[in-house]
Amino acid sequence: MAKQLTYGDAGLDLEKYGQTMAGIQPLLTGTWAMNVIRPPFPVRKGGKGTGGFASLFDLDPDAGLFRRKYRHPVLVTCTDGVGSKLKVASLAGKYDTVGIDLVAMSVNDLICTGGEPLVFLDYVAMPKDDPGVTVRLVKGIHDGCKEVGCSLVGGETAILPDVYKPGDFDLAGFCAGVVERAGIIDGSRVEPGDAVIGLASSGLHSNGYSLVRKIVFEAAGLKVGDHVPELGKTVGEELLTPTKLYVKPVRRILSHYPVKRKGVIHGLANITGGGLPDNVSRILPPGRRVFVRRNSWDAPPVFGWLQRLGNVADAEMARVFNLGVGFVVIAAPYFADSIVTQLADGGVPARVIGDVRAGEPGVEFV
C-alpha cells in the first residue's frame, strides 16, 4: 500500500507555521492606531483566530488620524521590496533590520505626494518555516511602522520549498495612506529659482546591492564579519545599516508650510535606485532643470570605499547610489534656510545642494 502523503512530506510544517503566526501577532497589535478595528477573537492555539481574512481601518473623519477632518481625502498607495540586501542579511544571520528597510521603501515614496501613511502589510516568503527568523523580520517591520506612526495590520507568510533555496527569503510590503486633494505635491509648482535641499541618508539604504555584493564579496573577496578600518565597523554592520525613515521630519515641514496656503514646498523626491538624476527628474515639469553642486554635502565614507574597491566611475556611482542624499525637498528659496534648520532640529542633517533653472527636465552636476 502506498504511503499516505502529508503536507509535511512536501516541506510544510503546519504546527510550526502556527507557532510563527502566534509569535508575530503581538508585533502587529503593538503598532495599531485607534482607527484599526480590532478582531473580536483572541489568538488561539496554533495561530488561528487572528482576525478573519482582511484588516479593517475606520475612516471616520472624527477619529484618530483623521481628526484633521480631510475635506477631500485621496488614497495614496505604494508597494516595494528590499531587493538583494536580503542576501547580506542571510550571510550575516541578522534579520532584525531589513524589515525597517521594507517599511522605508514604501513610506518614503508615499510622503512624496504630501500624504501620510496609515496602514502597512507585508509579504514574507521562505523555503521552510522558521519562527525565529520570521519573528525577527517582522520585528524590524514593527519597528519601522512604530517610528512613522503607521499601523501594521496584516500580511502573508508563504512557505515555498520549491521556489526558494535553503537560506533564501524575500520581503515585500504594501502601504496605504491619505492626502488632502488640495495638498497634493506633484512637482507642478517647481519653478526657476527654487532651492534644492538634500536630506542626509544613513548610507546605502536599499539600492545598488547587486553592484555592492559584486564589489565587496566577489571582486574584493571580503566577508560580512571582516572589519573595515575606514568605516569603523564590519562589512555586515555597514551593509545592513537600515534605510532612514523621513516621514516624521518631512511631515513636520509640511505641517509648518501647508501647501494649500503658502505653496512653500514645491516638490519631494525619495532618492532610491537611479540616484539623484533619475529620481529628481521624475518630479520636474517641462522647462525645469535642476543643477546640483558637487561636494556641497558630506557623503558617508561607504561610498568612497566602494568606489575605490570596485574602481567605479563617478557617473556610475551617481546613477546607482544616493551618495549621501536620501531625500530631496524642492522649495521656495526664501524659506530654504528655515527648512534646513527645522530638519536639523528634527534629527535630519540637510543642506541646500542646488537650484532649479529653466531648461530641459533633468539633473545636472556642476
| The pLDDT value given to residue 49 | 46
> Where, residue-wise, is CATH 3.90.650.10 in the chain?
195-365
The answer to whether 246 and 111 have CB atoms below 8 angstroms apart is yes
pTM for the structure as a whole: 0.90
The answer to whether 17 and 11 have CB atoms below 8 angstroms apart is no
The answer to whether 179 and 116 have CB atoms below 8 angstroms apart is yes
The CATH class that applies to domain 195-365 reads alpha beta
> Where, residue-wise, is CATH 3.30.1330.10 in the chain?
8-46+57-183
Residue 202 to residue 53: CA distance in whole angstroms: 37
| The pLDDT value given to residue 158 | 92
The answer to whether 176 and 74 have CB atoms below 8 angstroms apart is no
Residues 6+ apart with CB under 8 A from 206: 82, 83, 85, 101, 104, 105, 243, 272
User: Hey, is 81 helix, strand or coil?
Assistant: strand
Residue 201 to residue 104: CA distance in whole angstroms: 12
Calculated CA dihedral for residues 140, 144, 145, 149, nearest 10 degrees: 150
The answer to whether 107 and 148 have CB atoms below 8 angstroms apart is yes
| The pLDDT value given to residue 46 | 47
- Which grid coordinates belong to 310? 570596485
CATH topology of domain 8-46+57-183: 60s Ribosomal Protein L30; Chain: A; (3.30.1330)
| The pLDDT value given to residue 24 | 66
The answer to whether 227 and 234 have CB atoms below 8 angstroms apart is yes
User: Hey, is 345 helix, strand or coil?
Assistant: helix
The answer to whether 328 and 198 have CB atoms below 8 angstroms apart is yes
Q: Residue 125: which of 75, 171, 175 has the closest Cα?
A: 171
The answer to whether 20 and 158 have CB atoms below 8 angstroms apart is no
pLDDT beneath 50: ranges in the chain = 46-49
**Around Cβ 194, how many Cβ atoms within 10 Å?**
23
- Which grid coordinates belong to 50? 487572528
